[in-house]
Amino acid sequence: MPINEDRGRALENEYFQRKEKELIAKMKAKMGDQSAKNLAIKCPKCDGTLVETDFENIKIDVCDKCSGVWLDAGELTHVVDQDKDGGWFGKLFG
């Protein structure tokens, strides 16, 4: 009976979709745990530790060894947006 077969297949798909969602949720929870434990981020340039600092309402990561300043992509966009009238960012890299 083809109708029953389709129904069975649909239930099977539903089962796997649910399993996949559970797996993703578990992975996300695991990743969350790891990021909470690894709050100390290593400097990409030296073996120093990056310290999150507020600079003109922007979160930046400053290395405690080489004083290197690091931003993630989202933070950088934020900085560039604020820098349209020529702010500290332009002076720093201009």
Smallest distance, Zn ion to C-beta of residue 61, A: 10
User: CB-side exposure of 23: number of CA atoms within 13 Å?
Assistant: 6
Mask of contacts with Zn ion, 11-50, x by CB under 5 A? --------------------------------x-xx-x--
Taking the C-alpha atoms of residue 40 and residue 19, their distance in angstroms, rounded to an integer, is 34
Looking at 12-20, 30-38, 57-65, 75-83, which segment touches Zn ion (CB under 5 A)?
A: 57-65
Q: Is 65 in the site for Zn ion (CB under 5 A)?
A: yes
